[in-house]
Amino acid sequence: MIPRYASYRDPRSSVAAADSRVIRTFDEEGAKAFLAARSAGLLDDFQSRGLIPKYEVVSESPLRVTSDLVPFVSYPEEWTPEMLRDAGLLTLEISRIAWATGFHLRDATAYNIVFDGPRPLFVDLGSVGAGLTPLWTAYGQFCDHFLSPLLIDSHLDVPFNGLWNLEGISVDVAARLLRGSNRWRKGVLTNVTLRARLESKHSGDALEARHSTRRELSLSPLAVDGLMQKMERTLKALSFSDQSTWAGYEGDNSYDDAAETARDFAIQAFAEKTPHNGVAVDIGANAGRHSAVLARSFDKVVAVDLDRVAVEIHRQRLVAGDVRNVFPIVANMARPTPGQGFMNLERMDLLSRLKGANATTWMAVIHHLAIANGIPLAALARMAVEISPRHLIEFVDLTDPMAQLLSATKGGEHHDYSQPAFEAAFGELFRLTRLDDTIQGRFLYEAQV
Amino acid sequence: MIFGYIDAGTGSLIIQVLVAGFAGVAAFVKFRWGSIKGRFSKEPKAEE
């Protein structure tokens, strides 16, 4: 069993992974709350609505509960704002159902939510606490993890991703950003501006004052539910920018239909020749055309793109088509998400999470990484070998007008970039096969460790 | 589970009671009355 650092802060339960199962072990008090929620029918209710993973109690003392391991976990900074909103709405839905049944959520961190494909799941069964509380305990955390990042993203048109840390965006930072006329937007004045003032005003309260605030303040259960409902409405009312460099790419690029079809066939043939069809990674997935081909052969596909709008278009397509085995995420392979938190292991770096995939496709992305980001081809080959043993690579050389544009932007100042240089660099680590077909003069390569 | 905010800060508790009582705006105006008054008398366009 591999313990998960992600769970180390919770005194009531801890999580380990073994054989593609997650095992949660509860302490006595955590067990009481879990068993109460189960006998109240709350957990079955969540399960039948598809809000939580299917779980199984495997031991009563100590209480151990297992569920399927979601094969790839993405983190909030790799989500589109719409994904963060869906995660927030799921948290509120779980929270309100629990509240109506006489339970509360002990926290409201975005890391309680895991995207299983394009849809969110609430995975932290240890968060359900017995009984109602005098106030909405997790309100402050909900604001930091969901409301403030989404308000900033929507009203300032600043991607929340770059501002995100393990505790979302703190209220003092949010208040400094949402100033002027933005204060009057729905939900800002109370949940950000005034909350920041009150937090700062009371931050120096003595112990007795803190105790008395907690003793004396309370709301009726109906009023607490009203707060959560109001929060739902605030989140649903937000809209996000659809400005994008890449989102129109699939309908509006330099390839004709025949070239696109040839590319699809090449990907399909590559997938069919891959001996273990567990997980494929599609780097530069855009709105998911190639991921859809991969998803026919592979159990799971992680679709990586740096354009948030393209990723969201992709996700909406998956939701509409009820496709569950494709995981669209926002990330830049020139600087993949680093490991964060305690020991840098609380949230794993992206490469470690991709590691162990069976195959990877790099369709017309190597030139972006090599030229625009200045990464040597040999270094890209080393990254590729970390991810999976098999690769399909579309190599775009400097005769391509778009590659020339990238090169010109750098004033030609980049590492050696040519087909022989590519073959030499990847040939060091892979058995490289150039496919017979070219796509509009671009070569396709299969690389095998 | 992240456990940083298991107990919300004092300000986050007080604000809930204000919001729930539909007193959010009124409380803010009261809280900031001096500066709002000052701002409007000097620079009317500061808050649209």
- Contact status, residue A178 vs residue A155, Cβ threshold 8 Å: yes
Chain A residues touching B24 at Cβ < 8 A = 189-190, 194
pLDDT for res A327: 98
**If we measure between CA atoms, which residue out of A279, A204, A292, A254 comes closest to residue A399?**
A254
Q: Beta partners for A114?
A: A121
Q: CA torsion, points A303, A308, A311, A315, in degrees to nearest 10?
A: 130
**Chain A to chain B Cβ contacts (< 8 Å):** 131
Q: In this complex, is the C-beta atom of B48 within 8 Å of any C-beta atom belonging to chain A? A: yes
The pLDDT assigned to B46 comes to: 47
Cross-chain CB nearest to A217 (options B17, B24, B28) = B17
Which residues of chain B are within 8 Å of residue A180 when distances are taken between CB atoms? Answer: 46-48
Residue B4 contacts A where some CB pair is shorter than 8 Å: yes
Residues A124, A146, A98, B8, CA torsion sign: positive
> Is the Cβ of B23 closer than 8 Å to some Cβ of chain A?
no
pLDDT value at A411 more than 50: yes
- pLDDT score at A215: 85
- In this prediction, residue B47 carries a pLDDT of 45
Please answer yes or no on whether B10 and A189 come within 8 Å at the CB atom: no
CB atoms within 10 A of CB A199: 22
Mutate to test the interface with B, among A135, A212, A234 (most CBs of B within 10 A): A135
Of chain A, the percentage scoring pLDDT greater than 70 comes to 96
Residue A204 has pLDDT above 90, yes or no: no
Beta-sheet pairing, A390-395 with A442-448: antiparallel
Which residues, including other chains, have CB under 8 Å from residue A127's CB and lie 6 or more apart? A105, A106, A107, A112, B1
Top-confidence residue, A342 or A362: A362
Phi, psi of A277 (to 5 degrees): -95, 60
The CA–CA distances, whole Å, from A357 to A289, A338, A444 equal: 20, 19, 20
* Structure-token pair, residue A295: 């998803």
Cβ within 8 Å, pair A217-B11: no
The residues with which A103 forms a beta bridge, in sequence order, are: A130
Q: How far is CA A198 from CA A210, A220, A312, A354, B16, in A?
A: 13, 22, 36, 43, 11
Q: What is the pLDDT of residue A251?
A: 54
pLDDT digits (tens, 9 = 90+) for A263-284: 999 999 999 999 888 999 999 9
Interchain contact B7–A (C-beta under 8 A):
yes
Separation CA A55–CA A32 (nearest Å): 17
Question: What span, in angstroms and rounded, lies between the C-alpha atoms of A199 and B15?
Answer: 9
**How much of chain B is helix, strand and coil, in % rounded to 5?**
65, 0, 35
Q: Which residues, including other chains, have CB under 8 Å from residue A311's CB and lie 6 or more apart?
A: A80, A285, A303, A305, A328, A329, A330
Please report residues of B whose CB lies closer than 8 A to that of A184: 47-48
Instruction: Kindly state whether B29 is in contact with chain A, defined as any CB-CB distance less than 8 angstroms.
Output: no
Chain segment B2-23, per-residue pLDDT in tens? 444 334 588 899 999 988 876 4
